[in-house]
Structure 1
Amino acid sequence: MIGLESLADPSGDWDIVETIGKGTYGKVYRVINRKDRSQAAVKVLDPVNDVDEEIEAEYNILRSLSNHPNVVKFYGMFYKADHLSGGQLWLVLELCNGGSVTDLIKGLLACDRRLEEPLISYILYGALLGLQHLHNNRIIHRDVKGNNILLTTEGGVKLVDFGVSAQLTSARLRRNTSVGTPFWMSPED
């Protein structure tokens, strides 16, 4: 189990620039590194008083498997203590300025346009390469959907959000639990 007190405070390294997203866990911000001015995204989980199973699973997957071109890069986990409202856990990740596949689809639909087949193929191929990397390391994502496939301005396709992912062991090659976003799950789940 990861102890919050062992994590560095992000304030010395990162400055929040703007909010770029939100979810059930908290918000995502664009941040700038104070030393080298590089940009990143930070997923802020708050209030956090301890590291639960989902956070630890996501941390372990990001720490060990983000070295693949189709998995978001991981730059570190930090803890910003706040004794009044509970602390903030920061997961600092690669900035994917292209947004999510869901954002892309919604933007096109607003203009009465559709995603063309070659682009659909390109995005699916990138997502499948990322999933293959996870599966080769006995990890199942369990929440693949448009919101969890991000795009970079350079044309990268990145898998994100490993909070409900699971590690398969040699003793247990299949999961008997059902998790994920219900509208995106297969009917047999």
Structure 2
Amino acid sequence: MFPQTGKSIVFDNFPDPTDTWEIIETIGKGTYGKVYKVLNKTDGSKAAVKILDPIHDIDEEIEAEYNILKALSDHSNVVKFYGMYYKKDVKCGDQLWLVLELCNGGSVTDLAKGMLRRGDRMDEAIIAYILHEALMGLQHLHINKTIHRDVKGNNILLTTQGGIKLVDFGVSAQLTNTRLRRNTSVGTPFWMAPEVIACEQQLDSTYDARCDVWSLGITAIELGDGDPPLSDLHPMRALFKIPRLCSDLLLYTDCH
């Protein structure tokens, strides 16, 4: 079961979700639990809910996502946040529900792979539009001293109206006036910036919000090719390759 309190939020203070929301169907599975489509019992509107499994060691990630969504979801390129709910269940374990805007269009990764299966490639104009909208969302985060740290196609969703939304802030980091850089290596290996990877080997290495720009660049390749570079390798091997490729690219640029 979840502990009754986190570091700064009290789970018991959140309302019971079953008073407001009814689960309709499963629409996905994340790192910490499943994602469902839900119906608002009062007004008939639909939303998505990320139901977090009752695991003790994700408290920090829960709080990071909750705090960022609560503070920064008022942007057109960040998924809207409708609230946190707490469901007590002695038998199966207590659950936290994060209720979010429903993005029926799926992820841009799904879109790119679906086109490739049909023998098509995503048009560069569409890729440019997706990147522009994602950049607007990232700019909003960065202005507010927040690094996403896991930018990739699966975390960029489409609405039915063609909108682009950044999602999944469980590993995002908030910067303070006294700490404008980070030194914790997190993210998905193939999209990870070299300076983020370096934090694993070099204790004095740090990075800032520019790591999200690298990840978005890798996402651009993913949208065109269907997969990020080095995706044929084991993730750990890719982590060794990425800094080396970056060094080779810088050397090539200096020589030309």
Determine the structure 2 residue equivalent to 1:64: 71
Q: Which residue in 2 is equivalent to 1:152?
A: 159
What's the offset of the Cα at 1:83? 1.1
Aligned residue for 1:64, secondary structure, equals: helix
| 1:80-104 Cα shifts (integer Å, max 9, x gaps) | 1111221111000000000001111
Aligned counterparts of 2:27 and 2:184: Cα–Cα separation in 1:
32
Residues 1:137 and 2:144 aligned together: yes
Q: Secondary structure at the match of 1:169?
A: coil
| TM-score, with length taken from structure 1 | 0.96
| Cα displacement string for residues 19-49 of structure 1 (whole angstroms, at most 9, x for unaligned residues) | 1110221111111100000010000101256
What residue number does 2:120 align with? 113
Match of 2:45 among 16, 23, 38: 38
> What secondary structure is seen at the aligned counterpart in 1 of 2:82?
strand
SS in structure 1 of the partner of residue 48 of structure 2: strand
TM-score (norm 2): 0.72
Tell me, in whole angstroms, the C-alpha distance in 1 between the residues paired with 2:155 and 2:163. 14
Shift of 1:50: 8.5
- Which of 97, 108, 113 is equivalent to 1:101? 108
Unaligned ranges ≥5, structure 2: 1-7, 198-256
Q: Could you say which residue in structure 2 is the equivalent of 1:5?
A: 12
Give me the whole-angstrom Cα distance separating, in 1, the residues matched to 2:20 and 2:56.
22
- Which has the higher Rg, Structure 1 or Structure 2? 2
1:177 CA displacement = 1.2
Tell me, yes or no, if the aligned pair for 1:49 and 1:87 is still in contact at 8 Å: no
Gap regions ≥5 residues in structure 1? none
Ranked by relative contact order (alpha carbons within 8 Å, sequence separation 6 or more), the top structure is 1
Q: 1 or 2, which has the higher strand percentage?
A: 1
Identity among equivalent positions (%) equals 71
1:87 to 94, 111, 114: 94
One-letter code aligned to 2:192: M
The code of the aligned residue for 1:14 comes to W
How many residues are matched?
189
Name the residue aligned to 1:76.
83
The separation in 2 between residues aligned to 1:35 and 1:85, in whole angstroms, is: 27
The 4+ residue runs of structure 1 with deviation greater than 6 A are none
Give CA deviations for 1:143-187 in whole Å, capped at 9, x if unaligned.
000010000010100000000001111111110111001121123
1:165 paired to 2:172? yes
Corresponding residue for residue 210 of structure 2: none
**In the TM superposition, what are the counterparts of 1:169-184 in structure 2 within 5 Å?**
169-184=176-191
